[in-house]
Amino acid sequence: MRNSIFILLLALLCFTCGVTAVQNFLTKDQVSYLEIADKSSPQKRAGYGALNGTCMDQLNYIPDTQYPEHSIMRYVRVNFHVMRKSDGTGNFSKTEGIAYAKGWLNAANKWVAKNNKMNLPVNNDTPILPTNYRYVIAADPNIPGDNGVYFHNDDDLYFFVKNGKNRNSSNRKQFEKYGVQKGKVLNIFMMPHHPDSVASRSYNPSKTGIAFPREGYIKIAGTYHFAKDTLIRNGKPFVRGAWYCHDVLNHEIGHVLGLHHTWRSSDGCDDTPNHANCYSQNKKKSTCWDEWSNNVMDYNTHQNAWTPCQIGIIQRNFAKEDAPQRGLLVPNWCKLDPSQHISIYNKMTWDGAKDLAGNLTIEKNAELTIKCRVSLPKNGKVIVRPGGKLILDGATLHNSCGTQWLGIDIGNKKGQKGEVVFINEPTLQDMKNGLE
C-alpha cells in the first residue's frame, strides 16, 4: 500500500512539474521593453534574418577559445569527380580513385584541424585558433549505393590546361554536365594535365586548381601525375600520394568559403600582411626567403595557416542564411542534441549570428545580450533561471530548419523569475509556446 501511495504522489509531482514548465514560457506581459534614443543607430537591425552592421563583421565570428562550446563545428559536404578519357584511362581507376579521394580528404582535414602558426609578419604574435570546420564526403541519397565519388569518361572534358591558347581551366562545362547535388555539396573535379602538355618540356604539370565560389565547385589538376610519378630519394622510391596535394585542396576550398589571396591589395583582413609571395623558404633559390608565407591562401610549399580574421570570414559566411557557403553545410543544428547544451554563467554579448544544436540556459546572476540571429533546434528552448537576464537587442530567435523551437522558459523560484528585456524590436519566430 505504501508503495502504491508513493508511486501516486510521484506521478502527481511529475504532472505538476510538467504544468509548471508550460506555464513558465515567456508571455508578452512578462517582457521588459527598452528603446534606444537614436533610431538610426547601427544597433538597429533590419528585418528577419538580416546580418547588418555588427552582425556582418567577420571579427565577431572568430571562435572564442574561452568558450569553445559557443561555436558549433561546421561540416562542409563534398563529393569527387574523377575525369578520364573515354576508354577509362588517363586518370585513376575506380579502386584507386576512391582510395585517393578519401585519403586526400583526410589529409586536408588534418591540416584544417591543426592550423599552424603564421610565418608572416616576421616575429608575429598572431593567435592560433581553431578553424571550427571540416569536410565530409556526401553521397547522393537518390542514387542507390552511392559513395560520393564519381567517374566520368569524356575525351572532350577530362583534361586540364592551365596556360596557352588551349587553356580550359575556367571552362564550366564539367560542372554543368556532371555536377551532383549542386548548391548542396561542394563538387571537386580531379582532372589530369593533358598528356600533350606533360610531354612538353616547357609545361609544368604542377598541382594547381581553380575555384568557382558562386556555383560551389572546384577543379584541381596534378593529383594523378604526382601519384604516378615515382621519384628516387636517397636511393629509395618516393611516391607523392594523396597527402601531397592537401594544400591545393584547402586553398581552393578556401576560395569557395569566401577567402582571397593575401598578397594582393586587401583581402579584408589586417592579420594577413601584403608580401612578395615567395613560394618556398630556400635561402639559395629565393630572393625573399626570410619573408616566406605559409598562409593557406598564398602560393607556397605548405599552405597550413589560417588567421583569426580568415576563420571569422568563413564562419560568418556559414552563419549568413542566404550565403552559398551555408547551403554546403551539414545542418547539424536542426536536431536537438542534449550534449550541446550551452550555459551562461557571467555577463556576455553575442555580436554574431549562431546556430545552436542544444538548449541555451542563462544561469542565476548571469546576463546574455543577443544582437543577431540565433537558431534554436527543433524542440529546443532558451531557459532564463531566476536571477538571470536575457537581453534581445534587435535579435532574431527562430528555427532555421523549417520546424519549431519551444520558446523562452523563465524560471520561477519563490516568486523570483528570470528577466527578459526587448530592445530595438527583436523578432521571435517559429515558437510553440509563449508571446501570444
d(CA 126, CA 8): 62
Q: CA nearest 128: which of 65, 78, 179, 82? A: 65
- Cβ neighbours around 170 below 10 Å, total: 8
| Together in a domain, 126 and 227 | yes
Q: Torsions phi, psi of 393, nearest 5?
A: -100, 90
Domain-terminating residue out of 264, 285, 319: 319
Residue that the C-alpha cell 609544368 belongs to: 204
Dihedral (CA of 275, 276, 279, 284) sign: negative
For residue 325, is it within any domain? no
| Together in a domain, 311 and 405 | no
The answer on pLDDT for 239 being more than 70 is: yes
The answer on pLDDT for 6 being more than 80 is: no
The answer on pLDDT for 178 being more than 80 is: yes
Q: Kind and range of the H or E element at 74?
A: strand 74-84
Which has more confidence, 235 or 287? Answer: 235
| Together in a domain, 375 and 412 | yes
For residue 18, is it within any domain? no
Instruction: Give me the pLDDT at residue 19, please.
Output: 36
Which has more confidence, 212 or 35? Answer: 212
Residue that the C-alpha cell 612538353 belongs to: 200
For residue 19, is it within any domain? no
For residue 327, is it within any domain? no
| Together in a domain, 308 and 340 | no
Quote the percentage of the chain above a pLDDT of 70: 88
d(CA 424, CA 36): 7
* E strand map for 239-351: 342-344, 347-350
| Together in a domain, 113 and 225 | yes
Mean pLDDT across the chain, nearest whole number? Answer: 89
Which has more confidence, 46 or 365? Answer: 365
Question: Are the CB atoms for 107 and 242 separated by under 8 Å?
Answer: yes
| Together in a domain, 233 and 108 | yes
Instruction: Give me the pLDDT at residue 205, please.
Output: 84
Instruction: Give me the pLDDT at residue 24, please.
Output: 87
Structure-block grid coordinates of residue 434: 509563449
- Cβ neighbours around 370 below 10 Å, total: 23
For residue 17, is it within any domain? no
d(CA 239, CA 231): 6
> Greatest CA separation found in the chain?
95
| Together in a domain, 200 and 346 | no
The answer on pLDDT for 69 being more than 90 is: yes
- Cβ neighbours around 275 below 10 Å, total: 18
The answer on pLDDT for 262 being more than 80 is: yes
The answer on pLDDT for 45 being more than 70 is: no
Q: Which of 14-18, 103-107, 233-237: highest mean pLDDT?
A: 103-107
Q: Provide the number of structural domains found in the chain.
A: 2
Instruction: Give me the pLDDT at residue 281, please.
Output: 64
| Together in a domain, 243 and 372 | no
Packing angle of the helix pair 246-256, 94-114 (nearest 10 deg): 70
The answer on pLDDT for 106 being more than 60 is: yes
The three-point CA angle 249-171-303 to 5° equals 20
| Together in a domain, 58 and 78 | no
* E strand map for 154-242: 186-191, 208-212, 217-221, 231-233, 236-238
Q: CA nearest 242: which of 225, 228, 223? A: 223
Per-residue exposure over 341-351, b if at least 16 CB sit within 10 Å of its own CB, e if not: bbebeeebebb
Tell me which residue range forms the domain holding 340: 25-70+334-428
Burial class (CB in 10 A: 0-12, 13-18, 19+), 134: middle
| Together in a domain, 418 and 369 | yes
Residues 47-65 have pLDDT tens digits of 433 445 899 999 999 999 9
For residue 329, is it within any domain? no
**Close Cβ partners of 31 (under 8 Å, ≥ 6 residues apart):** 420, 421, 422, 435
Instruction: Give me the pLDDT at residue 235, please.
Output: 83
Residues 181-232 have pLDDT tens digits of 999 999 999 999 998 888 888 788 889 999 999 999 999 999 999 998 877 7
Classify the phi-psi angles of 96: left when phi > 0, otherwise alpha if psi is within -120 to 50, otherwise beta. Answer: alpha
**Close Cβ partners of 18 (under 8 Å, ≥ 6 residues apart):** none
- Grouping H, G, I as helix, E, B as strand and the rest as coil, residue 392 is strand
Domain-terminating residue out of 268, 288, 319: 319
Arithmetic mean of pLDDT, 298-310: 94
Arithmetic mean of pLDDT, 6-15: 43
Quote the percentage of the chain above a pLDDT of 90: 73
| Together in a domain, 50 and 178 | no
For residue 214, is it within any domain? yes
- Cβ neighbours around 361 below 10 Å, total: 21
The DSSP string of 334-365 is SB--GGG-EEE-SEEEE-S-EE-SS-EEE-TT
* E strand map for 239-366: 342-344, 347-350, 354-355, 360-362
| Together in a domain, 44 and 78 | no
Residue that the C-alpha cell 582571397 belongs to: 260
Helix, strand, coil shares, percent, the chain, to 5: 25, 25, 50
Domain-terminating residue out of 319, 352, 382: 319
Question: Are the CB atoms for 256 and 325 separated by under 8 Å?
Answer: yes
CATH code for the domain of 253: 3.40.390.10
For residue 7, is it within any domain? no
Structure-block grid coordinates of residue 138: 556526401
